[in-house]
A and B are shown apart, each in its own frame.
Chain A
Amino acid sequence: MPGFLRDSLTIAAKDLRSELRTKEALNASVSFSLVILLLFSFAFDPSAEQTREISGGLLWLVFAFAGALILNRSFARELPNDCLDALIASPISGAALFAGKAAANFLLLLAVEAVSLPVFGVFYNIRWWGQFWQLAGVLALGTWAMTVIGTMFSALTVNLRLRELMLPTLVYPVMIPALMSAIQLTTHLVGGEPLGGDVLVWLRLLVAFNVIFTALALSLVETVLVG
């Protein structure tokens, strides 16, 4: 197995094992997403048509808010006992470290979404699975966008005293193009229509965002970690 892939998998497995033992970020994120969905369902009483129109925005706001709790922990979990120094001093590249952490975050965020989505369907009486596989693809692309930006800024803010505040403050503005794309595509798919026509522009924007920011993160993370 190539060194980069092997090192990334080692880091991802370590992060997932640590998180599944403590469930600190996962429990907090799932609970938070369910509470937001519940509060939104009390706050608004939309018609079926209005619900369909806001479904994408509502879902991605929930994912973004709940996801910040997981992304915040990504590099912060390395701070106790100075574990981050040990990782940086080891022979793995910064890119492999980033890729491993991003992979673990991606899976954790998908787990939160897998719980939130059916609950969303129940609360808002929406049959969201009409275009299941296309929706799954859009969720994966949007989640990767959130992961790559969140993991990068988690590395950047890890030594800041107010990192819990700084991370969402930095991440959300940068994510606007990806969030807009994911919202438009999700609204379309939850409405039961397949992707096509003008909507594909949003898909292209989302893919381009992921490619550009993944490449940027992989090339800059070493500088971010060591200076």
Chain B
Amino acid sequence: MSAIVAQGVSKYYGDYPALRDVSFSVAPGACLAMLGRNGAGKTTLLKILAGLSSPAKGTVTIYGKPPRDGEARRAIGVLGHGIAVYDELSAFENLRLFGELYGLADPRKAAAEWLERTGLERAADGLVREFSRGMRQRLAVARAFLHSPRVLLLDEPFTALDDRAIAVLQTLLRQALADGRTIVMSTHQLREALDLATEVGLINRGRLAFRGERTQAMLDDPGWIYRHYGEA
């Protein structure tokens, strides 16, 4: 069974077509880098995959279930543009909260473990509003990985990260792939993304213009895909 299947997905904002008849599937354990220029439809696609938005047409399944199904939502970890943690709560309280919402057996233990893995254990009781930008980003990464999701949906995951957060995220993503988890990431940062990706997609004005395996030619020349399949 495919981890993710999108079939004929379209989405409109008013009359503007953000996505047009997008179809693809992602096998379990694969890492799909979804490329595209600003406004191409990458974030809209990820929101639909995460169940945060409904498609106007078409269907999406996560391990055979619709994204709003409880089982599918437990399988998904989302790292979006915002860090999605509460400024008025401590780092520990934030992770415990999401651990409880995801029904983890021991949310306190999971929170402590992920604070340690992201190097935030000494700041566990500090309020997030007092954190540096890098610390907030690492906490966001911990929040997305907390419940060991089988599918990771990452929207521009490397954008605005500091060096330490990039290192933490790359390590976690490599480990996730080694564990057989599935990753879909939208990104502009081609080198970091292509380094991890096993497959590549390119969205151009809401249409899936290219979908294939990542090749050595892409690694050698990350701009190649835009020159061949991007808009003129």
Contact present for A86 and B98 (CB under 8 Å): yes
Name the residue of chain A whose CB is nearest to the CB of B79.
Answer: A86
Alpha-carbon distance between A17 and B97 when the two chains are bound, in angstroms: 12
Chain A window 8-27, contacts with chain B (Cβ cutoff 8 Å), 1 for yes, 0 for no: 00100010011001100000
Contact present for A89 and B50 (CB under 8 Å): yes
Inter-chain contacts of B74 with A (CB < 8 A): 91
Residues A17 and B93 in contact in the complex (CB < 8 Å), given A80-B87, A83-B85 = yes
Contact present for B52 and A85 (CB under 8 Å): yes
Alpha-carbon distance between A193 and B68 when the two chains are bound, in angstroms: 52
Report the contact-size class of chain B (Cβ under 8 Å from the partner): 20 to 34
**A183-227 at interface with B (beta carbon < 8 Å):** 222, 226-227
**A82-101 at interface with B (beta carbon < 8 Å):** 82-83, 85-93
Contact present for B101 and A18 (CB under 8 Å): no
23 CB < 8 A contacts A-B: A14-B89, A14-B97, A18-B89, A21-B89, A81-B82, A81-B83, A81-B85, A82-B80, A82-B81, A82-B83, A82-B84, A83-B84, A85-B50, A85-B78, A86-B78, A86-B85, A86-B98, A88-B52, A90-B98, A91-B74, A91-B102, A93-B70, A226-B52
Contact present for B73 and A90 (CB under 8 Å): yes
Contact present for B54 and A91 (CB under 8 Å): no
Residues A85 and B84 in contact in the complex (CB < 8 Å), given A90-B73, A226-B53 = yes
The reply on A7 being an interface residue by CB < 8 A is yes
Pick from A80, A91, A222, A227: contact of B73, CB under 8 Å: A91
Question: Taking the nearest CB of chain B, how far is it from the CB of A83, in angstroms?
Answer: 5
Question: Taking the nearest CB of chain A, how far is it from the CB of B91, in angstroms?
Answer: 13
Inter-chain contacts of A82 with B (CB < 8 A): 80-84
Name the residue of chain B whose CB is nearest to the CB of A93.
Answer: B70
The reply on A173 being an interface residue by CB < 8 A is no
Alpha-carbon distance between A227 and B47 when the two chains are bound, in angstroms: 12
Alpha-carbon distance between A89 and B155 when the two chains are bound, in angstroms: 14
Name the residue of chain B whose CB is nearest to the CB of A222.
Answer: B68
Residues A10 and B100 in contact in the complex (CB < 8 Å), given A85-B52, A89-B76, A227-B54 = yes
Contact present for A85 and B82 (CB under 8 Å): yes
The reply on A137 being an interface residue by CB < 8 A is no
The reply on A3 being an interface residue by CB < 8 A is yes
Name the residue of chain A whose CB is nearest to the CB of B140.
Answer: A81
Contact present for A226 and B54 (CB under 8 Å): yes
Q: Top 10 A-B pairs ranked by shortest CB distance?
A: A82-B82, A86-B84, A91-B73, A90-B101, A18-B88, A81-B82, A21-B88, A89-B78, A10-B100, A91-B70
Name the residue of chain A whose CB is nearest to the CB of B87.
Answer: A80
Alpha-carbon distance between A72 and B97 when the two chains are bound, in angstroms: 23
Question: Taking the nearest CB of chain A, how far is it from the CB of B57, in angstroms?
Answer: 14
Contact present for A81 and B73 (CB under 8 Å): no
Contact present for B98 and A81 (CB under 8 Å): no
Q: Which of A6, A18, A86, A88 has the most CB of B within 10 A?
A: A86
Question: Taking the nearest CB of chain A, how far is it from the CB of B153, in angstroms?
Answer: 9
The reply on B24 being an interface residue by CB < 8 A is no
Alpha-carbon distance between A18 and B89 when the two chains are bound, in angstroms: 7
The reply on B86 being an interface residue by CB < 8 A is yes
Alpha-carbon distance between A222 and B67 when the two chains are bound, in angstroms: 13
Alpha-carbon distance between A14 and B78 when the two chains are bound, in angstroms: 20
Name the residue of chain B whose CB is nearest to the CB of A22.
Answer: B88
Alpha-carbon distance between A88 and B80 when the two chains are bound, in angstroms: 13
Alpha-carbon distance between A22 and B87 when the two chains are bound, in angstroms: 10
Name the residue of chain B whose CB is nearest to the CB of A223.
Answer: B54
**A13-68 at interface with B (beta carbon < 8 Å):** 14, 17-18, 21-22
The reply on B51 being an interface residue by CB < 8 A is yes
